[in-house]
Structure 1
């Protein structure tokens, strides 16, 4: 049977020790079968186990293999489309409920880290950096919007103040969110997997779901076994493939690229990010960066539509890094990798139920670290019969990409080109 290892990345190279987990062989029965051992699946499993469910998790490769173990490691609040956009689309009542949940994912992460003693280099503080006066105006509006929904840990930064927290002269200002922050993403996933197992949950690795037999007691088939369950949670996101065709039609895997420098040393690292906050800029095609626990710079950006792996990731991302920090021109890049996230046309997550017993959440559209942890709680609530918050997400409108799967990639790339031009010329 194929054994899929982690891709080469800084996170895989610095991952905490984890026990070997077997592939599923034979038949098992469970209350809930979770497909995917990333954040959505692990968060769901934890909340369900804490509420007395028997849970089995199937992972096609290894815990955190996909976006959960490859992302920029930033705890960013809200959704890829903010609450005001949701409000215009669905009205104030549904938006109020979604707005109340927009800042919950970060709290869940911190609760998990504390409760289960997860070692993942958790640091507080995230900066949204404005390159233009128009972007700064947007941040001012965003602060008012978030405060309307009870989120008050925010500080607007003028040009002088932002240079105290980011050693880069290309920003005119920004906003600091102290409930934001950053983590070692793979170690967070591994810690959550250990928590799942500590509560009696079972995780099978190298066990891809290849077919779902739907019905009153659905069955998930793997190459060498099957799981019979009362409920199924589909949590594969960009790595789900065509297992559930009706989900694949309304989403598109996209790749983002990340590089990591050699260790910079205390003095150089502190000159870049004196308070050790993470940063993302306000461009549509944004750049993001932060320091690791051993004082490397993780820098990411760029989107490849259709999830192809670029031939030379460093050639794409290093110029972006040097534009922000030209003092790193002689610094060696130790790691470069790509990972996929799942984009929806609305850029809002897709949540729902197929039949009576197959639940799903997907399509974080680049805002997955916090949202996935909230999604796990919301899915667990729905399985317990508390569906109000689940329904608030499930009722969001979603549409297939124009032209279907054949044309969705060129259409999305054309849209990104347009917004890239707007970023470049400051519109």
Structure 2
């Protein structure tokens, strides 16, 4: 009898899986932060990249879009293999691939080569989306949520602090040095994980085709998964609208700052991300739907503040805090919701959700660059607000 494409076939007993110790959990969190940073290093450097190749701000913003498109492709096409292939080997191969592609970015002789290499960097940087299901599988039942939450905190901090690091290094040593350093970090992580990461046996016994078809089955059968992917994609589009254009706004006559100062605004965002565990507690107490609504209201308020008071430093900082707390609250609450739907298919649930999430981020980068070029900061805030409003409408009315 043919097995369902959704349900995985366990090849090893859960009791045989190695247990996580505290040091390994922190190593996974560090890895997630350093690898996901590869996607965001370019955002404070877009103006400098544009000057190097003699292109406009809107053209330079396509580098951020290309990297996010690559990450989306990695999540869609590679991450499901974590249920079918041995995860440790897959993770190590992707880290080595990321190192090579980052080196290609650093030495890119033309904008076309840079954009193509950026897509490959994104594909190879989908490692965190393999580590999170791996941690969920290896963690004891009674502490799974805490362990996955700790690893997710590394991911969030990596997203935000990557801009600080790349902005500072890019301003003082050039944007190419940022990617050279990132390539070295990927090689070092490969060696460390090869020594420390346990073997994690696959769970799916079918073919790659049946594995990919199961994604469609999950999306078709689970309206909560579809809604979460659409809401997450819309709110991450709003997030990308802001962070893609911030470097241009700070470099404009309104502020006159360089990429180093633009990067340090990532520290403000990181402070907002520290509030993310509160969102998880709110979801536990009041339910994921309530926590998602609260996060969307905060994100909408942030854009209203950025539109009216973004010309003042205090207004800009407070707007960033509200935006990052709101977006991370929605993201964590969405993941809490989808992981409860089909525990035996968490990797593929994550693939469906994160594909929608980063598709939205790619669209947000494009929309942000166009809004800045044609309408300035007011256009950026209007487009960002529209994406949040769309997310709120989807959350409240889709499949109700």
Q: TM-score range by the shorter chain?
A: under 0.3
Q: TM-score, normalised by structure 1?
A: 0.26
More strand by share: 1
Q: TM-score, normalised by structure 2?
A: 0.28
